[in-house]
Structure 1
């Protein structure tokens, strides 16, 4: 088991400014402040350079991203070999580790897993969901199962078409869809 350490905005800003002063490198700063890894500092610096102090703030309201947007981000990363940080900056995302969670979800559960809600449900909710899912699977007719499978296949075909278009002309594709990415990243959660 590991614990996620959350750093204050002030701490992040302090390290970013110290790094940008040119006197210290990522690894030196990590060691100086007792951090196990310098990767977060690199992310903070890149985010600060792109978004200013806003890039170091934790989001108060969660942004909801569409499955299509998540797939486009993942396909860009795979196609270009970009890191999570580079990809996040390209798409205006302030939280690069979010991409890792999308990638893991996609690899484990495919397109459908990218559409699941984030967060933990209560124990009673888990029990209800497990019970209702079991009943739902039994009650789902053959026709309903086929409709569900068709919808997943449609999503996959749409994803592959967009991936192909992106692979043929990455810059053109991104420019064409830039407005959509921008509007997707500003959607408030319900």
Structure 2
């Protein structure tokens, strides 16, 4: 199995390669040989990116962003949504979370006081949810 050597090139290097190609009229293959590049089609993709988006487009990383970037974006989006919420909406959300917490604590206390009785009382509900008829 061959390990890929993923080399990254600076924007200036890419601009130099494209400038040389334009100035001399060299082909992508000849230009690749001149600069010691093993993949002439890479030059074509640089040229396309440059024509579509200018020099800034040559600085964009290829491929899928890392998961850490994804998580940062997700977190930033969540923070932005919270900032957009009105004061009243924030209070309503807090109230709902507190109601859920109280319900959870009530059920926990009931279970701790009488585990068998609690399970027996709620057995029918859990039992009917877990089994589905297969007709």
Task: Report which of the two has the higher share of helix.
Answer: 2
TM-score of the two chains, using structure 1 as the length reference: 0.34
Q: Greater RCO between the two (CA within 8 Å, min separation 6)?
A: 1
Larger radius of gyration: 2
TM-score of the two chains, using structure 2 as the length reference: 0.47
